[in-house]
Chain A
Amino acid sequence: MPLIEVTNLRKSYGTKVAVDSISFSVDRAEVFGILGPNGAGKTTTMEMMEAMRTIDGGTVTIAGLDVARQPDRVRRIIGVQLQSAAFYEKVSLSESLRMFAAFYGRTVDPLKLLGDVGLAEQARLFPEKLSGGQKQRFSIATALVNRPQVLFLDEPTTGLDPQARHNMWKLIERIKAQEITIILTSHYMEEAQRLCDRLAIMDSGRIIALDSPSQMIADLIDRGFSKPALATLANLEDVYIDLTGKALRD
């Protein structure tokens, strides 16, 4: 039985339909990607699943809990990394993490958690002192304080430099290895292809494709698609990483 089931989910703002009756399911320990152009409804879909936004129609259940009916119980078993989140300035990372853990009635070892995302040395810093990549990793640390069953990541690598992006991918793979189900939105196809077990591609509030990345590629080739240029053995990103190295530049 799937861990997450989304059935005929709808959301509209006035006359504009943001999410148009979409359905999909996600299995436990799967990494599920939602792709699509800006305004396709990715974030709205995520936020309805996270109990951040009211659901106009349809249902979302996570581990058997109806998100619309039991939002508080759902919030306890999910972790959320938002696109537009901030943390209290002048409050150290450790202090912030303790507070977030307390919201779930838990106590955490902030150093352990920060170590997991590579921020042990920054434990006493304030969030306003962090680089973009560090901020995103801290944001993920706050989303892990309650040992969630499902982790929502909304564009976790947008705006990061290639080193920070590669570093974030490794972090996401480590989280996946802990059997945590991950829902991820992204604008980077390389990222989706590397991380996601299955993908939904959205456009204008609808899901227009839903499958594993490799199957999607195979289907495209079956439809007679071929790239005009021969695939090269390396791309520019490989050149860039080769020249600048993989070490993080926070």
Chain B
Amino acid sequence: MRALLLFAMVQLKHFLRDPIYLFFILVFPLVFLFIFGTIFGGSRDVNLTTALLNNSDTEFAQDFVERLKAQESQSLKILSDDLSFEDARLKMARGEIDSIIELPPGFGSVGQTAAQQGEESPAAVTQTTPPSVFLPTGQLRVYYDEGSPQAGQIVATIMTGILDQINGALMGTTPPLSVEQVSVGVNGLSQFDYIFSGLLSYVLMTMGIYALSQQLPAEKRSGSLRRIKATPFRAWQLLTGLALAYLLLTLLSAALMIGVSMVVFDFQMRGSWLVLAAFSIVSALAMIGIGALVAGVARNSNQATVASQSIAFPMMFLSGVFFPRYLMPDFLQNISSWIPLTPVGDGIRYITTEGVGLPDLLPQLFLISAWGIVAYVLAFRLFKWE
């Protein structure tokens, strides 16, 4: 036992004194965190840029353009330079803008009186004249790229909303049936709070599978493992000591990531930190076991890299850590529910976003432990010293 602990200590010193290892352990996950945090963090609004082409010379169209510009915000940028339709289409093809709003010639034209009074005094219009005769009419067009229909739909929805408002004001009535959009983030969780579970799972997996499967084969090559092989220290002790050292490194990396998430991205934790710690330890140990198996069996770094990549890469995407699993076809959902990272990601998400306790995580813990035990048993048996 003392041998095992001293060995783990030596491993820790070996890493923590090496700037390259430190970079991978501490900085790399943070780089990842900042990339994902910036994409998904803070606001959950979409950013759309749309070009506005006004081909109508009516006053109503002028007013409408002003009104639209007033609506401009972080989420909807309006480009109202005098672009030709072709220019705008080119920009859209390049992805510089998401959609084009066109006010066709004659948009908003009707009887001069109605157009002049426009939106300023619609009530007066409706009182004195039959609406259908004097009200401005027209149909604006929203063009969007076939490849991103959402952008077109969102802009069309915004336009419909504005036009409905104007229509309502012109007619002096409120439509009897309408839709109100209310967002219901659970407990006011931000999108970052949701992706956080994925980032944490990613850290547990990289530290367990990638890091170990890089280090062990390198030691097989350098000869430091050979030297240990000549002593009474056995493979199971070596792997257990390594697992202990890596567990501490993983927790260190995870703690740093949680700290930065809280300070920079305002991460909101719903569950108990103790539950998260306990769950993370079990998960990290299982991941390290898989890494130890890969690294122990591989004869050299190339084999280990290929093997660990082909395990970790599909796992990262199939586990639902980055993409929700419900987007997958049924058969893939069935398969992916059994891979080891799936219960890790699910469990962390339940803890951090729903505040679930350990008893409710038993199915996940069971599956993770099963993978872990299988990995360690195989790793102990199949370990190659050189």
Contact = CB atoms under 8 A, between A and B. Distances in A.
B328 interface: no
Interface in B214-253: 222-224, 226-234
B10 A95 contact: yes
A32 interface: no
Given A75-B232, A89-B18, A90-B17, A99 B10 contact: yes
Contacts of B234: 72
B223 A84 contact: yes
B267 interface: no
A87 to B, nearest CB: 6
Given A75-B231, A75-B232, A88 B223 contact: no
Contacts of B230: 50-52, 75, 80, 82
Interface in A130-149: 139, 142
A91 B223 contact: no
Contacts of A82: 223, 226-227, 230
Contacts of B7: 99, 102-103
B231 A100 contact: yes
Contacts of A95: 10, 13
Interface string B58-77: 00000000000000000000
Given A76-B232, A82-B227, A90-B13, A99 B6 contact: yes
A98 B223 CA distance: 19
Contacts of A14: none
B124 interface: no
B2 A142 contact: no
Given A82-B226, A86-B222, A90-B18, A104 B231 contact: yes
B257 to A, nearest CB: 24
A228 interface: no
A96 interface: yes
Given A98-B6, A102-B7, A85 B13 contact: no
Contacts of B232: 72, 75-76, 103-104
Contact of B13 (A52, A72, A91, A100): A91
Interface of A: 50-52, 72, 75-76, 80, 82, 84-91, 95-96, 98-100, 102-105, 139, 142
The 6 closest A-B pairs by CB, nearest first: A90-B17, A80-B230, A86-B223, A85-B227, A103-B231, A86-B222
29 contacts: A50-B230, A51-B230, A52-B230, A76-B232, A80-B227, A80-B230, A82-B227, A84-B223, A85-B223, A85-B227, A86-B222, A86-B223, A86-B224, A87-B224, A90-B18, A91-B10, A91-B13, A96-B10, A98-B6, A99-B3, A99-B7, A100-B231, A102-B7, A103-B7, A103-B228, A103-B231, A103-B233, A104-B232, A105-B3
